[in-house]
Chain A
Amino acid sequence: MKKSLSLLLAVVMVLALCPVFASAEAATYTEAPSLAEKVQAGELPPVADRLPSNPQVLEVAEVGTYGGTWRQAVTSGTFNHAQHHLTGYLSNGNALIYGQDKTTITTGWLESYENNEDYTEFTFKLRDGLKWSDGEPVTTKDVEFWYNDILKNEELTPSEQYYTDCTLTVVDDTTWKFNFETGKPLYLAKWAYNDGSPFVYPSHYLEQFHKNYNSEDELAAKLSEEGFDDWTLMFQDRMNDQKNMDLPVLGPWVMTCDPAATNTITFERNPYYWAVDQNGQQLPYIDSAVISIVESTDLVNMKVIAGEVDVQVACVQESFSNYPLFAQHAEEMGYHIETSEFNEPNAMNFHFNATSTDPVKAPYLGNADFRKALSLGMDRATIISTFYSVGPYSSEVAQTSFLAGSPYYDEEWAKEYTEFDAETANKMLDDLGMTEYDENGFRKTANGETFDLVILCPNFDAQWIEVAEMVAHQWRENLKVNVNATQVDPSLWGERTEANDFDITNLTGSNGFLYVSSGSIGDWTGCTGYNWGTRFMPGVHIKDGDKAFEPTEDMQKLMDLGTQALTTTSDEERDEAIKGIIQLHKDNLWAIGIGRRLPAINIIKNSYHNVANLDQDWAYGFCGSSRPDGYWTEDK
């Protein structure tokens, strides 16, 4: 063991001493032993033929050796992004990749990209000789297939998304252009942030499932063979890299099992992967990957302390209270814990339904002074020391605001009304006319009606209801406002908030760093986690017509500024718009925060190398900018 380790170290050192050539020469490409065997046996073409003529050269910190299995475990919950995004990320190489700073963009399997000054024309070029995981070449034919047969097919894509209303011009086999009517300044950012191959699909494989390429009889035969009623359902299943193991992909690994049929999703290396390390070794280093689907996060935790998880963020990140459990076994089981900042700006915020249609509650829920009074009536220090304090870590008192570290951090917003001041709060409530009390000692409305509020708490995490109840308790005790907390399933919670049928709800907020992201107005309208965009944008679906509601004047302003921030091509204008958004939040305090979220937990086996900058964000498959194709492990 020791000997082989020192040998390994020697090899690594020798390799590290080798001069690094930015573009390794074609003749020097090497591959994993398992692939070399297949080449010997004539089952695969040689590595130089499988790689593009100019593969991406990933400069890894430590040049690695081939082998090993990367193990992770996630839960099979309702709202679990983890499973989807991990499988997507492992098998789906990115066209564009965000750098560590989340502002610079580099290429993935694209060779180059370009845009004109007003962001209406984007030119993309594929790496020459790029191949799908089954060895078929990737060409602009695949882009045309995506454009004509998926995007422009009304059955598959019923309405156009903000980023897809473009026209396609194919230049040659590897080059194409997208043209937009209006400028899309954040277009590239959108694709770099999200996972997935946004504009190519393996036409040679998918045509067999598409209506346009099959006669009705053929399609019917295919449907019965695959067990579907409807060709769109079949096509969407077959084109989904997270559900179909047969779909040719561009990622470092290829799924090798049907994820619906098993509790363990397995991956094998993609022999046609398009990146090499600085020494010309084809990536990825790690042979295979395994994701176990278990029934609860507790079982994930158990796998961690049993040393059956190698590198993982998903699921283990959520609750910092588990730190002692992980730390207790870390040394013995050979892993260590790192932390990363959450993008969610608050440990928990309380969002008030300012558009409530309840005649008794609406005048208060919709009143900024009422919300501010409740914010002052909250003893944040106690809440934090009880729930959000583990060892030396303790969350910092704050409203739900853009985070320190983002260019738009505003300390005034972060700290306003966070001081515990029951006296002022009670005076504010008195000023609102709530001066009479019912038989239980709770405040009545100015009109003398009994007044009670319910915090609708989604069951995303068992601790949420505890915190919500503590806050409700404080409001009852300190302010004599009758608030109670109740817990519901996420699906029911979604239904109720969608239908405007709630008083207060709690969330952790979203996008606190204001990453340029998915192209949703919601990302720009403030990080309360509340789906502003989806509720107030024109043409957005509102359930329960009888409970129809209108955004208030300030909310409408917020939407307009959000739209402006999203669409403007001028950086100054965007800054102005965001400043306006911040001011609106400061004035209205639609959501009351408690404090910053404790950091996310990342578990890393000591035997894994090149694992740095993991990210809690699902959109990066939880790997951030760390490039899992460059991980390597001593556990073979």
Chain B
Amino acid sequence: MQDPIKGLQKVNRREMKRRKAAYKAQSEREVDSIYVASQWKLTRMRFKRNRLAVVGFVTLCIIYFIALFANFLAPYGKQDYNANITNMAPHGMHWIDEEGSFSFRPFVYEIVKGYDPVTFAPTYEVDTTQKQYISLFVKGTPYKLFGLIDCDVHLFGVKEAAGPNGGIYGVYLFGTDQAGRDLFSRTLIGAQISATVGLIGVLLSFFLGLIMGGLSGYLGGTVDVIIQRIIDFVISLPTIPLWMALAAAVPSNWPVTKTYFCITLILSLVGWPSLARTVRSKFMSLKNEDYVKAARVAGASTPRIIAKHMVPMFTSHLIASLSLSIPGMILGETSLSFLGLGLRAPAVSWGVLLADAQKFRNVALYPWTLIPGLFVVVTVMAFNFVGDGLRDAADPYL
């Protein structure tokens, strides 16, 4: 093995070069401004320099944009069953037709369903003599944009679905599921729940953690001991039984999403201790810092000291840890759906789509049903990039 220190030195040299180059590249004005920049601004600058984090951030923006406009971007509704295209492999659009002539406007061929004489699996034949062009802003399945505005316009699609040979025209970028629903549309619509439902829970446990950890760390003494023991207690409660119990106790006439949302909220009441521990240790170390003492001597009130002098010191840390706990929620949703405890059909989330895809026949025969898994991986990875980037950016030692 290579001598690690040599490697380290090499890296350090390389690192120094990189930094120097980076500084040089910046304008004089920017270099000057570093000395007077606020903690926030510094963090932002450092974050921007982390390419992975920026990529992650852009990815997240795209995903949340998709989630916001999912119904409009998706060519079909989440419940658009179609018996003519069950378990169909992805069927995209074409630009070049059989004769090799190029058309700027994409088109689709008619698809006719059949079945394999031995396995009885559905087979799909493309009739290249019948084509139809893709249109923008087609009228389709009605939906509510942002959950409010009645709308039936979709970004793209085909105007006429029925083909002359009894087949159908359509764009199915990710293929279809067992009930002939478009996976592309369902994946986009699934983003609405998957990318957002964890957020609220995380936020709640974030504030709980902040308050409990803050109280514990700043006040110390008996309060600290009591809160510490509460934390010990809450940590010792296993999540899955709690989840099952709550899921069974919720009234059956509640819609699935509401049930799930409600349980997530309750679970966040259990999820705060780890953050509280971090906050506590930060408070412990900060409260003896000179500037905090100075503020106290100057007569600043406790809330003011906490809000103005202490919290800003580690907000970026907290945001980083927050952005790192969101992927946990997204993965947790898929795992719970797998165990049959999380969101369930007819709700559409990535977890629900994956719970369906993990059936062995789908993995073996219809592997495109696993595509939502790719979205989970990409989203979680993006959150991790951003979280890591934020943490590094907030760390004054780097």
Contacts and interface: CB of A to CB of B under 8 A. Distances in A.
Interface of A: 298-299, 301-302, 305, 321-325, 327-328, 382, 385-387, 389-393, 454, 456, 459, 462-463, 465-466, 469-470, 473, 484-489, 492, 496, 501-502
Contacts of A387: 178-179
Contacts of B121: 324, 327-328, 391
Given A328-B365, A466-B179, A488 B120 contact: no
A501 B178 CA distance: 32
Contacts of A323: 119-120
A385 B83 contact: yes
Interface in B296-355: 340, 344-346, 355
Nearest first, the 3 A-B pairs at minimum CB distance are A391-B120, A385-B83, A324-B121
Interface string B229-271: 0000000000000000000100011111000000000000000
B323 to A, nearest CB: 33
A321 B118 contact: no
B178 A321 contact: yes
- Say what secondary structure dominates the interface of chain A: helix
Interface in B81-123: 81-83, 86, 115-121
Contacts of B115: 390-392
Given A391-B116, A465-B345, A386 B81 contact: yes
Contacts of A496: 252
A382 B180 CA distance: 11
B81 A470 contact: yes
Interface string B138-179: 000000000000000000000000000000000000000011
Contacts of B248: 488-489, 492
B83 A454 contact: no
A298 B346 CA distance: 22
Given A328-B121, A391-B119, A484-B346, 7 more contacts: A324-B365, A325-B361, A386-B179, A469-B79, A469-B346, A473-B81, A488-B252
A322 B361 contact: yes
Interface residues of B, number: 33
A321 B121 CA distance: 9
Contacts of A298: 358-360
Contact of A386 (B86, B116, B120, B358): B86
Contacts of A487: 256, 344-345
Contacts of A484: 255, 346
Nearest to B346: A469
A502 to B, nearest CB: 8
16 contacts: A298-B358, A302-B360, A323-B119, A324-B116, A328-B364, A382-B81, A385-B83, A386-B86, A387-B179, A389-B83, A454-B252, A469-B79, A485-B346, A486-B253, A486-B254, A492-B248
Contacts of A390: 115, 120
Contacts of A392: 115, 120
Given A327-B119, A386-B180, A456 B252 contact: yes
B179 A393 contact: no
A302 B365 CA distance: 13
A454 B359 contact: no
A329 to B, nearest CB: 9
Choose among A299, A301, A382, A385 the residue with the greatest number of B CB atoms under 10 Å from its CB. A385
A305 B79 CA distance: 32
A197 B340 CA distance: 37
A41 B52 CA distance: 75
Contacts of B344: 459, 465, 487
A316 to B, nearest CB: 12
B345 A466 contact: yes
B340 A325 contact: no
B356 interface: yes
B193 to A, nearest CB: 16
Nearest to A328: B119
Contacts of B120: 323-324, 327, 390-393
B350 to A, nearest CB: 16
A331 to B, nearest CB: 8
B269 to A, nearest CB: 23
Contacts of B358: 298
A465 B364 contact: no
B365 to A, nearest CB: 6
Contacts of B253: 454, 486
A486 B345 CA distance: 8
Contacts of A473: 79, 81
B151 to A, nearest CB: 16
Contact of B179 (A391, A470, A492): A470
A325 B116 CA distance: 12
A322 B361 CA distance: 6
Contacts of A386: 81-83, 86, 179-180
A489 B356 CA distance: 17
Given A385-B83, A454-B252, A327 B118 contact: yes
B93 to A, nearest CB: 25
B84 to A, nearest CB: 8
Contact of A301 (B81, B118, B119, B360): B360
Contacts of A385: 83
A393 to B, nearest CB: 7
Contacts of B355: 462
Choose among B254, B255, B345, B358 the residue with the greatest number of A CB atoms under 10 Å from its CB. B345
A323 B119 CA distance: 7
A470 B177 CA distance: 14
Interface in B176-194: 178-180
A600 to B, nearest CB: 15
B252 A486 contact: yes
Nearest to A464: B345
A454 B359 CA distance: 27
B116 to A, nearest CB: 7
A459 B81 CA distance: 21
Contacts of B255: 484, 486
Contacts of B180: 386
A348 to B, nearest CB: 14
A502 B252 CA distance: 9
Contacts of B82: 386
A387 B81 CA distance: 10
A321 B356 CA distance: 13
A191 to B, nearest CB: 37
Nearest to B113: A385
Given A454-B253, A465-B344, A487-B344, A324 B83 contact: no
Interface in B357-376: 358-361, 364-365
A235 to B, nearest CB: 32
Contacts of A327: 118-121
A356 B345 CA distance: 26
B338 to A, nearest CB: 10
Nearest to B254: A486
Given A390-B120, A465-B345, A321 B361 contact: yes
Nearest to B81: A386
A298 B252 CA distance: 28
Contacts of B179: 386-387, 466, 470
A166 B83 CA distance: 56
A391 B114 CA distance: 8
Choose among A391, A473, A489 the residue with the greatest number of B CB atoms under 10 Å from its CB. A391
Choose among A322, A328, A485 the residue with the greatest number of B CB atoms under 10 Å from its CB. A328
A257 B364 CA distance: 34
A484 B180 CA distance: 20
Choose among A323, A390, A486, A489 the residue with the greatest number of B CB atoms under 10 Å from its CB. A486
Contacts of B254: 486
Nearest to B355: A462
B125 to A, nearest CB: 15
A553 to B, nearest CB: 29
Contacts of A325: 360-361, 364-365
Contacts of B117: 391
Contacts of A469: 79, 345-346
Choose among A382, A393, A466 the residue with the greatest number of B CB atoms under 10 Å from its CB. A466
Nearest to A496: B252
